[in-house]
Structure 1
Amino acid sequence: MVGRKKRKPKTCDNGSHEDRISQLPDDLISHILTHLSTCDVVRTSLLSKRWINLWERVPDLDLDSHSFSSFDAFVSFTDMFFDKHKVSWIRKLRLSIRTHGVDDTSYLTPWIDAAITHNIQRLDVHFAYSFKDPVQIPLNLYTCATLVHLRLYGAFMVNAPEVVSLPCLKIMQLEYVKHLNETTLVKLISGSPVLEDLTVLKPATVLKVCSQTLKRVYINQPLQSGVVIDAPLLQFLMIKCCLTNNFKIINIGFTAKVDIDISLGTSYDLDRYGSSKKSMVCNFFASISRARCLAISYITVKVIKKIEPQLQFPYLSQLSASFSVFDLNVLPMILRSCPKLKSLILDLVDGEPKVVFSSVPPCLISSLKFVELKSPILGYEGEIELVRYFLKNSRVLDKLCLRFEKHNMKKAKYIILQELLAIPRCSSTCEVVFL
């Protein structure tokens, strides 16, 4: 408002500005401090007498050993935190341990013991470097009654005890965990009755994921070992692996979203192993045939091109696929397997595409309403032909989204744009959008 004077901050009798934050209750200040790094939280103790002990009530500890002057300073600081912590519970303990030449890990057990005593809810321990002796996780972690989120990176997981009880655990992330054997993983999953989210990266073991509560699973298994998944409530499955005969998806949710990046290993000798490879690939795709949303990598497309399995996705409504331009001829075959497809997102790699499509899959006639090309239009003839294919044959298409390369000259972009907009459209309601 014109003429309105700017309000000046209130001042105390001695002329200093009023400290309103210090007047807040301890619990509220502790909550505010959770948004700072742990080191900054401790530094607030220097502000005034009011703040000396407030850091001891903050329920989060997030430390990186690399940010300390020495590893001994890191250990001393963390010991002090647990010695002086006055809150009966700790919400989060996150430790990133990065050190060379220090192999003593005896500090870890009392820290995790103290966290469990303080009813830890989230534990995240990241070992960035290898140690001479494996960094073992304390056994009492397997029976932590309050843990909700567990992430271990680079740790050594000893054989699980007979009793594993994690009644509150909903999220479990095991990344590069050494000596994670099949029995230990089975016990961890079965001992987590409310587990919803599981991540397992690069284990050197057979994976058996059997759970009646899991909703999201991410597996990265590059080795040629087995994977078994039985999770009837699963909503999202992301898997990157080398397909083997020991790979089995027994049951996943009917509405699952599946993101796959599969290979056949280093050998593509299909003259010798063609029959078994094809059967294996066919069985895999049959096991995910009920998916509603599917994302496939260009490596997976190469597998499909090599094997030519009989694909059937009768319920699929959304497909996101990355294609090498040399494999684009597989696209009509994939589209024919999705009679109810509504949304298609394509990403092209490796240069200029070659488009010679003669058939029109049923989904283009009856269901496909949205198409997006994620890779930018560079002006290749094959790109124009691909756009033409969808515009001329998609009867119910509502929107086609395209992108331009940022470095395209305005004049060149205008010429390409005019050519694209001049293409006849089979659908009278189709809108071409340039992102």
Structure 2
Amino acid sequence: MAESKRQTLSPGKDGVVDRISNLPESLLCHILSFLPTKDSIATSILSTRWKLLWTLVPKLDLDSDTINTSELSADDDEDEREIMFAHIVSSVLAQQECGELQTFHLQWKFGWDGSHLDAWLRTAAARKVKELDLDIFMHDCDVENLKLPPSFFSCRTLVVLKLSGDIDIDIDIDTPSLSFNFPSLKILHLVEISLPSIINSQEHPFLRLLSGCPVLEDLSFTTDLFEGEYKLCVPTLKRLSFSENVCNESDYELEINAPALEYFNFEGDLRDIKFHQKLDNLVQANVESYVYEDEQKEFYREWVFRLFTALNNVKFLSFSPYGTEWHNVGNIYPSSFQNLVQLDFNVSDCNWPMLQDLLQNAPNLETLVVTKEYTYDKSNLCWKEPQYDRDNLPSHLTSFYYGGFEGLKDEEEFVKYILKEARVLKTATIQVYRGKSKENVLEKLSMFPRRSTTCLLRVE
């Protein structure tokens, strides 16, 4: 690879290197910052001036899957590769000469020794790192998760912190006096790290972590299990996303105090979620929720009603209700969604009534996207034409999309209803399920009356 670079950018090739080397140093560093760190280092062979230029680049992107492939043979075992990668990271950090480190992105797959991380993070903090992205994966499931050093939780320069994989920030259960101080942190993403033990501890270090982020705007976290009572109070928060990786039918209560929220995303088993106030600034919400028959089913209606009361001002809503109990929930929407202009709805055999109710409560809807689950039970009763004010739907709807069309009777009745009632509809797009004839579907749907004289019907 290095030889290829030498041939491509050698002075003999029309003086490419000479011309590039005449560029200002700041511009050269800017160009190198778009390359992976291993490629930036490789440019040092091009000329004397380039030899240490990479050390001025304020971005480090180190990946254990790729950075040491040229130094090691296929016969080397994992321990040797791990030692080599740790040596390379330490060496790169030692040679980096820039005063401040803008970004430190580390993707690390290791088997047994994670002790180097402490020194690397101390170095990054000393370089006033602004964005830290750690993606850690362990080959050996018997090895304990990596623990971040306590000193790191007072990194005043961090603006973005992303942690994913086998990381455990449960480091202060026995040291409650440890404080979190991230005065500049605006984005915090915690993906599949060890969260449950933190939240369930009496000391609530996760919540103390949030209290140490006075300007936090974007919080995202995923976990394998929610249990217990959580209270998230972040007045500056604009984006909140949380999810369970698997459906555990777990029991939890979540209170959220985030009056500035503009974006909300939830994926998981529906339980008791309370917002302290209505979200007047909310623009977009994505809800992928599971409702299954269990001992908590008597509370489902109340939980859904409470959640959508808080989301009532949303403009763009994506709703995917999964599970066997949605057909027992009934009409759960609190009042009209006056601001809703786009609805994306994932329909199944159990949740058609919820779609009907939403259409009834969205008088200003402009775009409707309906996607059908392929696990659909064709024997269940589904679409029924609503009996409410028939002028609600046609008022503003201009775009309609239906994905997964199989030509079932309830599907045809639903599409017929939209075409017949939507008075200003401009496009109706039907995406057919694989194996179905597009020509036959188009021929049949073309026979349905269309209230809008400008509606274009497409079948894909």
Task: Using structure 1 for the length normalisation, give the TM-score.
Answer: 0.86
- Judge conservation of contact 2:372–2:405 (CA < 8 Å) in 1: no
| Partner Cα separation in structure 2 for residue 38 and residue 376 of structure 1 | 44
In terms of mean alpha carbon deviation, does 16-25 or 37-46 score higher?
16-25
Between the aligned partners of 1:171 and 1:274, the Cα distance in structure 2 is 36
- Unaligned runs of 5+ residues in structure 1 are 1-10
What's the CA shift string for 1:240-273, capped at 9, x where partnerless?
Answer: 122224x212235324221112224x5445xxx5
The match for 2:371 is 347
8 Å CA contact 2:259, 2:278 repeated in 1: yes
Q: CA deviation at 1:94?
A: 1.1
Among residues 297, 303, 306, which one is paired with 2:320 in the alignment? Answer: 297
Structure 1 residue 274: Cα displacement: 5.2
Distance 1:61 1:119 in 2: 13
Q: Give me the whole-angstrom Cα distance separating, in 2, the residues matched to 1:413 and 1:277.
A: 40
Residues 1:416 and 1:15: Cα distance change in structure 2 (over 3 Å): closer
Contact 1:237 1:259 (C-alpha < 8 Å) held by counterparts = yes
Other-structure match for 1:7: none
Q: 1:314 aligns with which of 329, 334, 337?
A: 337
Number of matched residues?
Answer: 412
What does 1:87-236 correspond to in 2, within 5 Å? Answer: 87-100=98-111, 102=112, 104-129=113-138, 130=141, 132-153=143-164, 154-157=166-169, 158-159=171-172, 162-178=178-194, 179-181=197-199, 183-202=204-223, 204=226, 206-221=229-244, 222=247, 223-236=250-263
Aligned residue in 2 for 1:74:
85
1:163–1:355 distance in 2 versus 1, CA, 3 Å: closer
CA distance in 1, matches of 2:131, 2:243: 23
Q: 2: distance between equivalents of 1:231 and 1:330?
A: 27
Report what 1:4 is aligned to.
none
> Percent identity over the alignment?
25
Q: Relative to 1, partners in 2 of residues 1:161 and 1:65: Cα closer, same or farther, differing over 3 Å?
A: farther
- Who is 1:248 aligned against? 274
Q: Does the 8 A contact of 1:224 with 1:243 survive in 2? A: no
SS of equivalent residue, structure 1 residue 260: strand
> Partner residue of 1:5?
none
Q: Distance in 2 between matches of 1:336 and 1:24?
A: 63
Q: Equivalent residue of 1:297, what SS?
A: strand
CA distance in 2, matches of 1:96, 1:18: 33
Q: Secondary structure at the match of 1:276?
A: helix
Secondary structure, counterpart of 1:96 in structure 2 = strand
CA distance in 2, matches of 1:284, 1:296: 12
CA distance in 1, matches of 2:160, 2:387: 50
Q: Distance in 2 between matches of 1:310 and 1:116?
A: 49
Deviation of 1:145 after TM superposition, in Å, equals 1.6
**2: distance between equivalents of 1:78 and 1:232?**
42
User: Residue 364 of structure 1: CA displacement?
Assistant: 1.4
Q: Which stretch shifts more, 73-82 or 152-161?
A: 152-161
1-structure distance, mates of 2:120, 2:136: 15
Gaps of 5+ in 2: 1-9, 73-80
Q: CA deviation at 1:414?
A: 2.6
TM-score by length of 2: 0.81
CA distance in 1, matches of 2:410, 2:448: 14
After superposition, the Cα gap between the structure-2 partners of 1:44 and 1:15, relative to the gap in structure 1 and judged at 3 Å, is closer
Q: CA RMSD for the aligned pairs? A: 2.7
* 3-state SS in 1 of match to 2:318: strand
Hey, what's the Cα distance between the residues in 1 that align with 2:184 and 2:386? 55
1:421 equivalent to 2:449? Answer no
- How far apart are residue 199 of structure 1 and its match? 0.5
The change in CA–CA distance for 1:355 and 1:44 in structure 2 (over 3 A counts) is same
Displacement after TM superposition at 1:287 (Å): 2.8
Q: Does 2:384 match 1:337?
A: no
Quote the Cα distance in structure 2 between the aligned partners of 1:358 and 1:24: 68
SS at match of 2:167: coil
Question: 1:325 offset after TM fit, Å?
Answer: 3.9
Offset of residue 15 of structure 1:
8.5
Query: Which of 385, 388, 394 is 1:357 aligned to?
Result: 385
Q: Deviations over 1:156-200 (max 9, x none)?
A: 112275432212211100112224336222222222122111101
> What's the CA shift for 1:136?
1.1
C-alpha deviation, 1:407, in angstroms: 5.9
Is 145-154 or 394-403 further displaced after alignment? 394-403
Q: Say which SS state the counterpart of residue 24 (structure 1) adopts.
A: coil
What SS does structure 2 have at the residue aligned with 1:251? coil
User: By how many angstroms is 1:131 displaced?
Assistant: 5.8
Classify the secondary structure of the residue corresponding to 2:274. Answer: strand
Q: Deviations over 1:117-176 (max 9, x none)?
A: 111011111121246233111222222121111011121112275432212211100112
397-406 or 235-244, which deviates more:
397-406
Q: Which residue of 1 aligns with 2:285?
A: 258
Aligned letter for 2:318?
A: A
Conserved in 2, the CA contact under 8 Å of 1:281 and 1:309?
no
**1:209-236: CA deviations, max 9, x gaps?**
2112111111014542222211111111
Tell me if 1:388 matches 2:416.
Answer: yes
- Per the TM alignment, residue 422 of structure 1 is displaced from its structure 2 partner at its CA by 2.8
Any residues of structure 2 matched to 1:16-27 within 5 Å, and which? Answer: 17-19=15-17, 20-27=19-26
Q: CA deviation at 1:345?
A: 1.0
Question: One-letter code of the match for 1:215?
Answer: K
Question: In 2 relative to 1, CA 333–133 (structure 1 residues): closer, same or farther, beyond 3 Å?
Answer: closer
- Secondary structure of the corresponding residue to residue 425 of structure 2: coil
Amino acid in structure 1 at the alignment position of 2:266:
I
Name the residue aligned to 2:399.
Answer: 370
1:15 and 1:62 map into 2 onto residues whose CA distance is 30
Matched residue SS, 2:255 = strand
Amino acid of the structure 1 residue aligned with 2:128: N
